[in-house]
């Protein structure tokens, strides 16, 4: 037979070549099939990732819109409070001007009262009555002054508490 004419080492090499070609073909086929399988898995992962990114973007946009609305609401509240403060300050300035005017009239009235009528017709009893009235007036003024100072102190402590609780960034922006 012809196969007997070919030395054994060449036959073994031919068989090894055929086996190598078959193994290479099987490996290439397996590689290709695995690539298709992994390609499908990668495509699925890419789709899932794109969906997760889209969902995250939607959540971030919603959170951003919620924050923006809250910020606008708070800014509106601050502006309203600033308007009320401005109106109160203006009202207090008008009241203070009126009180200064009343103070001047009261001083003049007290001075006129203390002076009494002409010194010749002034009696000791009338002077004592005027002094007692002025003493009562002074006592009432001192009591009112003390109450006002106490009110101012309590207002100041309340204001300090509000300022200490206020965010530092807000205070720095207003200075």
Task: Please state the rounded mean pLDDT for residues 128-152.
Answer: 82
Task: Please state the rounded mean pLDDT for residues 118-122.
Answer: 61
Task: Please state the rounded mean pLDDT for residues 46-63.
Answer: 95
- 119 pLDDT band (50/70/90 cuts)? low
pLDDT score at 1: 64
Tell me whether residue 78 is in a domain. no
Q: Count up the domains in the chain and report the number.
A: 1
Tell me whether residue 91 is in a domain. no
Phi, psi of 166 (to 5 degrees): -75, 140
Phi, psi of 97 (to 5 degrees): -60, -45
Half-sphere exposure at residue 104, Cβ-oriented, CA atoms within 13 angstroms: 5
pLDDT score at 146: 83
Tell me whether residue 12 is in a domain. no
- 52 pLDDT band (50/70/90 cuts)? very high
Tell me whether residue 169 is in a domain. yes
Is it the case that residue 32 has pLDDT exceeding 60?
yes
Tell me whether residue 137 is in a domain. yes
Is it the case that residue 172 has pLDDT exceeding 70?
no
Task: Please state the rounded mean pLDDT for residues 66-81.
Answer: 90
- Which residue range is the domain that position 143 belongs to? 116-175
In percent, the amount of the chain with pLDDT more than 90 equals 25
pLDDT score at 20: 95
pLDDT score at 26: 93
Tell me whether residue 170 is in a domain. yes
Is it the case that residue 169 has pLDDT exceeding 70?
no
Tell me whether residue 23 is in a domain. no
Tell me whether residue 141 is in a domain. yes
């Amino acid at each position: 037979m012809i196969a007997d004419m070919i030395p054994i080492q060449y036959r073994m090499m031919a068989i090894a070549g055929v086996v190598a070609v078959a193994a290479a073909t099987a490996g290439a086929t397996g590689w290709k099939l695995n690539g298709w399988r992994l390609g499908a898995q990668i495509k699925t992962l890419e789709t899932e990732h794109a969906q997760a990114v889209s969902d995250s973007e939607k959540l971030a946009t919603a959170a951003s819109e919620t924050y923006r609305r809250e910020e606008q609401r708070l800014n509106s509240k601050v502006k309203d409070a600033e308007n009320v403060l401005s109106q109160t300050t203006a009202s207090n300035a008008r009241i203070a001007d009126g009180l200064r005017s009343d103070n001047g009239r009261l001083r003049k009235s007290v001075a006129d009262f203390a002076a009494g009528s002409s010194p010749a017709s002034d009696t000791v009893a009338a002077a004592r009555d005027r002094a007692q009235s002025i003493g009562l007036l002074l006592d009432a003024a001192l009591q009112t002054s003390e109450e006002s100072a106490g009110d101012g102190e309590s207002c100041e402590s309340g204001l300090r508490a509000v300022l200490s609780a206020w965010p530092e960034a807000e205070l720095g922006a207003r200075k």
